[in-house]
A and B are shown apart, each in its own frame.
Chain A
Amino acid sequence: MNKTTLIGICIVGIMALAALAAPWLSPCQPAQIDAGSILCAPSSAHLLGTDSLGRDVLSRLIYGSRISLSVGIIAVGISTLLGVFFGALAGFYGKTADALIMRVVDVMLCFPTFFLILAAVAFFDTSIFNIMVIIGLTNWMGPARLVRAEIMALKEREFVEAARASGAGNLRIIVRHMLPNACGPLLVNATLSVAGAILLESGLSFLGLGVQPPVPSWGNMLTEAKATLGVAWWITVFPGSAIFLAIIGFNFIAEGIRKDLG
């Protein structure tokens, strides 16, 4: 575990703790409207200021971490599982399965991901669950390619023959002997994808197509920032910094693991 990974884990860990301990950590209720203190600059009463409805920015930031982290992790969970499944299928069985799956990958890579996600969001509604699934469904190509390459490389090795000779079924061979080798690169890919998913969710919420207000998401807090440009710098700076820190945290972890893998 090297320094880089450690720093990343610290950052992400603090955010995760904040997300879990949100009800106890936040000074106010995130949806609590205080008409008397609209657009107040950071002060002792409101450490990070208030927004245009008088809601405390710090509290909304803390609750926002719940959205970002859960969307990130679950979306990537979905895409990694899908990717491993299809990648293993393509790599192990080769020929038609491989040709078919890789064609699908090629097609999906033709679509700018953001466009596809936006289109999907238009046709289904904008619940958090839908967003997780959609992001997951559009990001499985990376892990799939990884796993496929790994399995194809290992398919020809002797230990596969040996395992088969000792009566192991295909599934067992794949899961117990081949996949563990892909764990390292998969982990790096997954960590980077979480950062990407957080970015995607923020972008969607920013455009008004993700998490809907009054539920606080770092992205939709920035929507307000656009409206209050020049008037309330804290609404721009703090949510954006939160996104930035989250991404840096996950990137550090990924970079650290990559360094360890050599």
Chain B
Amino acid sequence: MKEKPLLLVKGLNVVFRYPAKEIPAACGVSFAVGRNETLVMAGESGSGKSVTALSVCGLLPEESAFVSGSALFDGAELIGMPQKQLRSFRGRRIAYIFQEPASCLNPVYTIGEQIAEVIRLHRGAGRAAAWKEAEHLLELSGISSAQRAARSYPHQLSGGMNQRAAISMALACGPELLIADEPTTSLDMTTEAEIIKLLTRLKKELGFSLLFITHNLAIAERIADKVAVMFRGELVEYRVKEELFASPEHAHTKELLAAYEKVGKF
């Protein structure tokens, strides 16, 4: 018997409403992410991938974004849930990492402080304990001089190190689902490979589901269990990885594959 998926999204619609116009960003998107499963969501910019990911936890601006449909996380309906309740999921059960690691970290606080902050918030730890834990997490993410890194500010670290720090921050409270929105797009290829390796390792060690958003199918080949292809706000193909690469159905998937072939294997 198949286990119930951790995240079950059905018929998700996102429309941005402005005084002058209405922009549909995602239309009827449906997919599922099982426990300890990796779903790679691929597509070009503007295809609605990030919007879908953000809408799961209610992170789109409430004044302009109108979200409808269903997103069941472990049986709880997240769409339409009031912000106060959503906060108990964020950082604790569902965590995010984003594209530009340095910009996602507050420039005026140290790395350690920002990680410790989320530990104090969700695990009720004291300042000293949280700081120690932050250092430990940085070490886990492959940062050798973890203590110095914790005392550093984002601008003092490289892009790769910042992303490792962001990953530490995301995994600090043991989330069940990690949503990674193009985390390696702004990194160079070597660093990108390191981060992918890191994520794979941590996923195996800690055990969480991964929703990885990218425009690079090479990554899908490397880490995905399932692949979902987004095109202009719609989910156009949703298959198990091997099947998608063997016999793609949708025209856009074929385009993406063609580009991937040209660039070369990851």
Task: Answer whether A and B touch in the complex at a CB cut-off of 8 Å.
Answer: no
Chain B: residues with CB nearer than 8 A to chain A?
none
Chain A: residues with CB nearer than 8 A to chain B?
none
